[in-house]
Amino acid sequence: MKIGLAGAGLMGHGLGRNLLQHGHELSVMAHKKRGVIEDLVAHGAREVFSLQDLAQGADILLLCLPSSREVEAFVESVSSELKAGQIIVDASTSNPSSCRMLAASLAQMGVGFADAPMAGGPEQALAGQTGVLVGASADIFARIHPMLSCYAKTIAHMGDVGRGASAKLVSNYLVTGMISLIADCFAVARAADVDAGKLYEVMLAGSGNSGALRKMVGPALQGDFDGYKFALANAGKDIGYFVKMAQSLDALSPLAQEIERSFKGALEQGDRQRNVSQLLKGSIG
């Protein structure tokens, strides 16, 4: 299968490596980190130098981009090169309404669309152990399943276009809520003169144990505040999308609004691209 990968960053790198290992023909285009492209090329990928070249001849265009804005811009940029029968798979965490809009527009050209965001981080992507939540027609889902299985251990077909994105926002609401709560807990622990290391050891034995806790706090206790490689800008975008979705469904809670406010405050205080575990600075160490 010929696949064009747009967004070969932390997550896209792992996807690309697994697609190559499974024998797919992969085309990639330079991202922010040149080393990722060089590694993929060294493992058999073909480097292209324009979005149009990326789209030409691809059976599937796999997008792993920061937000719906970039996804929409990509589709607009390559629209003149798209051919009937091609499929665009959006692996980004996107706005469900944007996914549905793009699917309707692309359908007029005979181009398929699926939203297929992932659960897991760069480590899971590289290991081929992500979870994927898919919004697509039954036909499109069947066609993209062999590709998804290259980098996912769990693939759930959630329903029509937009359902995968909706499910991912619900999942990330839980994650952003935990991140916010963990940062607040250790800020209060510091104020109460509670030993963060001893507290963490006990938390690992209780119901509060989680991937977010381990990624954030364990490394921070060793002086590494980049243990959870999830940019604040992306986390803030995700909770913002969730709030908009919940509001449109008349299901918005005060809790979601508070979590969104906490991330907005953090984003106003420094580098938007810093990792969420940086929220622990001043509370640990």
Rounded to an integer, what distance in angstroms lies between the CA atom of residue 3 and that of residue 28? 9
The pLDDT tens digits for 212-270 are: 999 999 999 999 999 999 999 999 999 999 999 999 999 999 999 999 999 999 999 98
The pLDDT tens digits for 35-93 are: 899 999 999 999 999 999 999 999 999 999 999 999 999 999 999 999 999 999 999 99
> Which of the four pLDDT bands, split at 50, 70 and 90, describes residue 30?
confident
The CA-based diameter of the chain, rounded to the nearest angstrom, is 64
> Which of the four pLDDT bands, split at 50, 70 and 90, describes residue 34?
confident
Residue 128 has a pLDDT of: 96
The pLDDT tens digits for 138-152 are: 999 999 999 999 999
DSSP 3-state of 25: strand
- pTM of the full structure: 0.94
The pLDDT tens digits for 139-185 are: 999 999 999 999 999 999 999 999 999 999 999 999 999 999 999 99
Residue 285 has a pLDDT of: 83
Pick from 13-17, 33-37, 197-201, 234-238: least confident? 33-37
Q: Which CATH architecture has domain 166-280?
A: Orthogonal Bundle (1.10)
Provide the percentage of residues in the chain whose pLDDT is more than 70.
99
Residue 10 has a pLDDT of: 87
pLDDT for residue 33 is more than 80: no
How is 224-262 classified by DSSP, letter by letter? -TTSS--BHHHHHHHHHHHHHHHHHTT---HHHHHHHHH
Looking at 3.40.50.720, 1.10.3720.10, 3.40.50.620, 3.40.50.12780, the CATH number of the domain 2-161 comes to 3.40.50.720
Higher pLDDT, 10 or 187: 187
pLDDT for residue 32 is more than 80: no
pLDDT for residue 272 is more than 90: yes
Domain ranges in the chain are: 2-161, 166-280
Please list, residue by residue across 203-220, b when 16 or more beta carbons sit within 10 angstroms of its beta carbon and e when fewer do.
beeeebebebbebbbbbb
Which amino acid is present at 235? A
